[in-house]
Copies of this chain bind each other. A is one copy, B any other.
Amino acid sequence: MAQAIHLHQVSPLKASCHQCSLSNLCLPLAIEENDLDRLEDIVQQGKIYNRGEHIFDQSTPFKSCFAVKSGSVKTSIITEGGDEQVTGFFMPGELVGLDSMSGDHYACTAKALERTSICEFPVEKLEELTGKLPELQHHMYRLMSQEIQNSHQLAMLLSKNTAEERIAALLLSLSSRFSRRRMSATNFSLPMARNDIANFLGLAVETVSRVFTRFQNQGIIRARGREVELLDVEALQMVTREFAKQGG
């Protein structure tokens, strides 16, 4: 479902954040026209990555943060033992790499899940700019803080919720992120494999599969491969809160 992208050349492309349909999601939020120009000066816009290509690699020198323009990205950490832990999925309008700003090297690996267009923000210049633009600085703080919250949410999901609850929560999260982009909230195609879902949610692939079919049998969703249709969103929301209702 990766939308075809305008150009295959990078350098002269200054398509600008002004025109970008995501400018309200991504960095530029709450920035003056003038300031937007200055942001554009430092951004490398719309580089294309094919499915499976790495945007950056864990333990390589940290240089930039990246905004997803179209397509989708998976971030993961490789442990000493060699296994992967998926730490997040990033959709258009979302910023990748904020977890790497505390060191000299990237804290994770980012990989395109499909044909993906990416804008690059060199941190050195970005920090310089946020020092001059309080609005932008504030926005950066918000984004990073949001990332912390998301991660706490995830930790909570992992520590307290059943397989069904985790998967329901992920489906709803994806749904709302699709609808923010004015795409269907009930009819979409998962950018990631079952394996990635399982890894992200701390489950075995088999469990993910089983839950999908269980949901399907209950008439809550319809899933064929990566194509998903949410038939009963309320039921899904019920699932995520099931345990809460009992406890309260």
Query: Cβ of A12 < 8 Å from any Cβ of B?
Result: no
Contacts of A149 in B (CB 8 A): 99, 102, 107
A176 at the interface (CB under 8 A from B): no
Label chain A's interface by main secondary structure: helix
Are A156 and B243 in contact, CB atoms less than 8 angstroms apart? Answer: no
Taking the nearest CB of chain B, how far is it from the CB of A210, in angstroms? 18
* Shortest beta-carbon distance from A146 to chain B in Å: 4
Interface string of A149-165 (1 = CB under 8 A from B): 10110111011100000
Q: Does A82 contact B (CB under 8 A)?
A: yes
B85 touches A156 (CB 8 A): yes
Looking at the complex, which one of B79, B127, B244 makes contact with A83 (CB distance below 8 Å)?
Answer: B244
Given A82-B248, A83-B244, decide whether A77 and B156 contact each other with a Cβ distance below 8 A. Answer: yes
Scan A204-248; emit 1 where CB is below 8 A from any B CB, else 0. Answer: 000000000000000000000000000000000000010111111
Once the chains bind, are A127 and B141 in contact (CB under 8 Å)?
Answer: yes
| Contact A247–B85 (Cβ < 8 Å) | no
A245-B145 contact given A127-B137, A151-B155, A202-B159, CB 8 Å threshold? no
Name A30-68 residues within 8 Å CB distance of B.
none
- Contact check, A99 vs B148: say whether CB atoms are below 8 A apart: yes
Shortest A119–chain B CB gap in Å is 19
Can you name the residue of chain B whose Cβ is closest to the Cβ of A132? B131
Q: When the two chains form their complex, are residues B148 and A98 in contact, meaning their CB atoms are under 8 A apart?
A: yes
**Across-interface contacts of A170 in B (CB, < 8 A):** none
Contact mask for chain A residues 116-154; partner B; CB cutoff 8 A; 1 contact, 0 none: 000000000001101110100110111111111101101
- Inter-chain contact B102/A143, CB cutoff 8 Å: yes
Residues of chain B with a CB closer than 8 A to A243's CB: 81
**Contact surface of A with B, Cβ cutoff 8 Å:** 77, 79-83, 85, 87, 98-103, 107-108, 127-128, 130-132, 134, 137-138, 140-149, 151-152, 154-156, 158-160, 201-202, 241, 243-248
What are the 3 closest A-B residue pairs judged by CB atoms, nearest first? A81-B244, A159-B202, A151-B151
